[in-house]
Structure 1
């Protein structure tokens, strides 16, 4: 492999390294393979390009439009995985490790693309939460909305996941409508650069959506403003240095951090050596020690077990580690590759020596690592090491020192309360796992320790066939943690998108809030058309379009027929005295579902038309009972429209039932799928 010149991508151009450059070495051979440097970059120009070119282009699209581009980009990257795998070997990652990084990053983009289409509107404004009534008669309302920030997101990523680490930040950022400036860790940045080249060459996202810094960030942070965001992954020391930047403090610039974490795994007190949970616990521990050579922010660093099971746990983990093959990650027989760099290997050995001041090394040798393969003498290989801390209560370093490599410490606990105390001694972590088949153990651990961890992972015989593993952050769930872990939350579905948007409280009349949020709000103006709304296609329907039908008088015969026909002979519908004794009813009343059925009969248009299907109802509530002799009417109003496929979209209808006194008796949201207007060829 020749020396790779790693170029930055700024202002829509690739810029070669110049000035003071950094040489990058292969993790498996120690040979110099790449050169990077950012001295030629003008960081103000990069920010201007993001703010003035990328930002407006992204904000012009709706959430759905950006979600479609995310999906297209993910599928494009999926077709180029093999070339990224080949580069990834030089980072010390096996093919399995690389798939976690590369395939995992692509999968994360696809999840955000899906959530953008399903959970966010086909609009530029996102309504957050319910409407708040701020006045007695409902003429003055409040609504929280979120809109994209008008700045740039600076992504500073760690070395261990050069692709996933970039894409898990980039997906929610682009979905929000904010351009990104990406700064990967230099040691593995050649994989990131290759991935960005593929993204740029695809031409899928508009110019300025993302830029790349290959080297230092110079004075970039000094130039940020209140509309910018910094999202960082790395060490607590570096995070402190960055977040203490005077400009960041002065302008209250958003800073999202994911940093050090002394993650732990607890074996429940209900587990015995012959239980499937025992083997599961050992398997999870070994996997977290060896996957990516332990270079995962979510890897298990502390292993906690009942005192009587510590020796069996050590023996079982050691036996599995004996089967671990260390060597050339490109060799299919290799189970564990190298650390990312010689400096990283030295740091792990230094931290392991600190842990050994309080714990006994029971497996592995820091001075010996049997490596399989030729020409790997200069590689950053470190053998897995397992420690036993017999007295975790008096220990300090085992709860404070993270060896970011294949190192873990086993320790005993007395009871669940003690296990919770030990878990929390880490000072805040990204994830803690509990392997138990007893739901009461899970409940107790949540009460004791959830406040100290970003994620609690429970697994047992029932879920282990489909569970994703202790160390797998998922885009659906938040990834972050309190205290030492940085206090941030990444991903988490739409929650992750919110980091790059401003939440604003909007106050005004129902018509104003309906116009702002793109959703008809109760109390806003209704509009009527000559044609029945069920005869009008998706494109023709307008927000607030309405139809009123009825009245229909409810008879006692209706109630009794419905009761016998459905089998719902609940006393409130059939027994006058029993119903009258109930504080909610004046006597026998109509079934709620009878009212819904009659409502549909009143507003439906029976002939074939653009309404393809009724896909459900939401938010059903009954406000007032309906007795025999009452007359009900129904008002159907177009509440919201959302495109779903190339041929049809979802229409949400507000359905309101009222009685002869104009009192509301029921309300719900009806969902239908409606065809688009037919395409005509000129």
Structure 2
């Protein structure tokens, strides 16, 4: 077998392994398949290249530009994923595992591409939160904004997900406008290198946006400053060592960590044997023990069930685990492959022996199991191992030592408070799952355990058909956890993008804030283009462009006709005496939706034109009742423009409706699609 040289991609060039390179063995056969590492990498040149080439190029792009880049990148990776599949088998991963790692990483990138287009502006500045009026008359205002940090993000990833682990960090980083230097775990870096090769060769990324270190980082962390960030996934011990770097501390370098996690799954007291919930619990635990051979940071390490059903859990779980075919992951019949390396196998067996001092192994014998299509002694294979801890309150290793493989420990609880206390003994985890159909049980667990877990996953017969599983971090939701789980946070939609941006409070006049935000602020200058704005195409409209309408009198006949036509005969519109008794109204008043309808009638241009559709309205509120005899007038201002595609864009209009005394009676934002 030929040995592959795994190169780093540094300062725009591929650099072959050199001094300090180490061998990488196949998880299946134990044979050396690759060499990686080069102690001679010029880390300062890599940092300079990212800061001076990659960063400026990304920051020139808008969030939508970057989102389109991510989508193109993800689709290109999807077209070339089969090559990554083939290479990834050597990590011990099965085809099903590839779908979690490779397809999951690509899917995560697509989600961030979509969110970037839908939830972020077509601008280089992200407006965070609402305006704050800091003065009585509104001439001095405040706003939080986010802008990209002007350094580099160093991503240090774990061995278990060589593709997803990279892409789930890379997608929000690039969307934020920040270049990244990726350092995968050496034992599986050959899969990451192929993925980076595919991305670089695509020509989609600007120069300097992504670099790769295959092997050690050297002293790179010693060269970081306040504009840089480090995102780490791995052991708690390594996280502590990196976080404690004096220069990282002294320069206040952003550091996020996702570390060890003794995740728990609780079987609710209502989930009796024979129920759909009990069967679901067994299925979830078995899947989490065997997927990726248990090498998942979200895998279930502690199984918490009512004391009365622990024997039933052991019996059902053992029966299901016994059907797990262990073998060469390239075989279609294999359901669980190997651990990533011989070293990882030794570590798992050592930790399992440690658990064995406090718990009885009730399933799985590492000295006697069958491996299909491979040599169990040469490959890094272990069987699923289930332990039962009869005294979980006094146990230490069960709640503190993670065997990062197909190993889990069952323990019984007396009542729900006891179950919560056991789950929290892990001192912080990425996820805890609760299988229950009882909403009160769910609420108690959320209150009692929420502070110790980054995610709480509830499932039962009602949701199991569409649920994504205990161990599946989703790009939409936060991934991370307190305490031993690292205290960091990844994913979570646009929250993840903000981790690579600086939140800044800006203060100034409405005109200044309008200029910075590129969104019109009430009180800022308005312009009159002359022609009706609904006759103007997307590119012709300017932020701040305003239309003032003529007034329309509201009559009692209008109110009664609207009530009878719509069926909304609420007493405040139809009964003078009853309305007068209401503390909010002086007597009969016009419907709020009548005001909206009349407002549209005042500002709409009826003829065919560039306005294609009204897609909704936001932030509607009614400030003052309108009675018969009042005269309604409208101000319509272009607040914000967002390009959607080559044919049309979204225009957000700020709308105010006032009476004859210039008192505002309603305010909202109207959304329309306008042709280019």
Shorter-chain TM-score range: over 0.9
Task: Report whether the alignment pairs 1:437 with 2:437.
Answer: yes
Per the TM alignment, residue 415 of structure 1 is displaced from its structure 2 partner at its CA by 1.3
Alpha-carbon distance change, 447 to 374 in structure 1, aligned in 2, over 3 angstroms: closer
User: 2:495 — aligned with what?
Assistant: 495
Separation in structure 2 between the aligned mates of residue 400 and residue 40 of structure 1, nearest angstrom: 38
User: 1:615 — aligned with what?
Assistant: 615
Bigger shift: residues 313-322 or 371-380: 371-380
- Are the equivalent residues in 2 in contact too, given 1:328–1:376 (CA < 8 A)? no
The superposition leaves residues 598-628 of structure 1 with CA deviations (integer Å, 9 ceiling, x where unpaired) of 0000000000000000000111000010111
The superposition leaves residues 69-122 of structure 1 with CA deviations (integer Å, 9 ceiling, x where unpaired) of 100000000011111001100000000001110000000000000000000000
Separation in structure 2 between the aligned mates of residue 607 and residue 254 of structure 1, nearest angstrom: 55
Aligned length: 676
User: 1:77 — aligned with what?
Assistant: 77
User: 1:303 — aligned with what?
Assistant: 303
Separation in structure 2 between the aligned mates of residue 374 and residue 512 of structure 1, nearest angstrom: 69
What is the correspondence of 1:265-304 to structure 2 with a 5 Å cutoff? 265-304=265-304
Separation in structure 1 between the aligned mates of residue 90 and residue 76 of structure 2, nearest angstrom: 23
The superposition leaves residues 317-370 of structure 1 with CA deviations (integer Å, 9 ceiling, x where unpaired) of 000011011110000000100000111111011111111111111111132331
User: 1:546 — aligned with what?
Assistant: 546
Separation in structure 1 between the aligned mates of residue 471 and residue 488 of structure 2, nearest angstrom: 18
What is the correspondence of 1:442-453 to structure 2 with a 5 Å cutoff? 442-453=442-453
- Are the equivalent residues in 2 in contact too, given 1:38–1:217 (CA < 8 A)? no
- Are the equivalent residues in 1 in contact too, given 2:29–2:374 (CA < 8 A)? no
Per the TM alignment, residue 375 of structure 1 is displaced from its structure 2 partner at its CA by 4.7
User: 1:377 — aligned with what?
Assistant: 377
In structure 1, stretches of 5+ residues that fail to align are 677-682
Separation in structure 2 between the aligned mates of residue 564 and residue 541 of structure 1, nearest angstrom: 39
Per the TM alignment, residue 39 of structure 1 is displaced from its structure 2 partner at its CA by 1.6
Per the TM alignment, residue 40 of structure 1 is displaced from its structure 2 partner at its CA by 2.5
SS at match of 2:395: coil
Separation in structure 2 between the aligned mates of residue 325 and residue 659 of structure 1, nearest angstrom: 76
- Are the equivalent residues in 2 in contact too, given 1:576–1:588 (CA < 8 A)? yes
Separation in structure 2 between the aligned mates of residue 542 and residue 451 of structure 1, nearest angstrom: 47
- Are the equivalent residues in 2 in contact too, given 1:392–1:411 (CA < 8 A)? yes
Per the TM alignment, residue 376 of structure 1 is displaced from its structure 2 partner at its CA by 5.3
What is the correspondence of 1:77-116 to structure 2 with a 5 Å cutoff? 77-116=77-116
Task: Report whether the alignment pairs 1:529 with 2:539.
Answer: no
Structure 1's consecutive aligned runs of 4 or more residues displaced over 3 angstroms after TM superposition are 374-377
Provide the aligned C-alpha RMSD in A.
Answer: 0.7
User: 2:344 — aligned with what?
Assistant: 344
Task: Report whether the alignment pairs 1:183 with 2:180.
Answer: no
User: 1:586 — aligned with what?
Assistant: 586
SS at match of 1:488: coil
Separation in structure 2 between the aligned mates of residue 666 and residue 608 of structure 1, nearest angstrom: 28
User: 1:679 — aligned with what?
Assistant: none
What is the correspondence of 1:603-682 to structure 2 with a 5 Å cutoff? 603-676=603-676
The superposition leaves residues 112-161 of structure 1 with CA deviations (integer Å, 9 ceiling, x where unpaired) of 00000000000000000000111111110000000001000000000000
Separation in structure 1 between the aligned mates of residue 377 and residue 281 of structure 2, nearest angstrom: 34
In structure 2, stretches of 5+ residues that fail to align are none
SS at match of 2:239: helix
What is the correspondence of 1:97-176 to structure 2 with a 5 Å cutoff? 97-176=97-176
User: 1:243 — aligned with what?
Assistant: 243
Separation in structure 2 between the aligned mates of residue 22 and residue 508 of structure 1, nearest angstrom: 57
- Are the equivalent residues in 1 in contact too, given 2:477–2:491 (CA < 8 A)? yes
- Are the equivalent residues in 1 in contact too, given 2:431–2:457 (CA < 8 A)? yes
- Are the equivalent residues in 2 in contact too, given 1:15–1:40 (CA < 8 A)? no
The superposition leaves residues 575-611 of structure 1 with CA deviations (integer Å, 9 ceiling, x where unpaired) of 1111111110111100000000000000000000000
SS at match of 1:143: strand
SS at match of 1:280: helix
Alpha-carbon distance change, 375 to 307 in structure 1, aligned in 2, over 3 angstroms: closer
Per the TM alignment, residue 269 of structure 1 is displaced from its structure 2 partner at its CA by 0.7
Per the TM alignment, residue 550 of structure 1 is displaced from its structure 2 partner at its CA by 2.4
TM-score, with normalisation over the residues of structure 2? 0.99
User: 1:680 — aligned with what?
Assistant: none
What is the correspondence of 1:351-362 to structure 2 with a 5 Å cutoff? 351-362=351-362
What is the correspondence of 1:185-584 to structure 2 with a 5 Å cutoff? 185-375=185-375, 377-584=377-584
The superposition leaves residues 23-78 of structure 1 with CA deviations (integer Å, 9 ceiling, x where unpaired) of 10001100000001122210000000000000000000000000001000000000
What is the correspondence of 1:44-55 to structure 2 with a 5 Å cutoff? 44-55=44-55
Separation in structure 2 between the aligned mates of residue 27 and residue 377 of structure 1, nearest angstrom: 11
- Are the equivalent residues in 1 in contact too, given 2:580–2:588 (CA < 8 A)? yes
Per the TM alignment, residue 522 of structure 1 is displaced from its structure 2 partner at its CA by 1.0
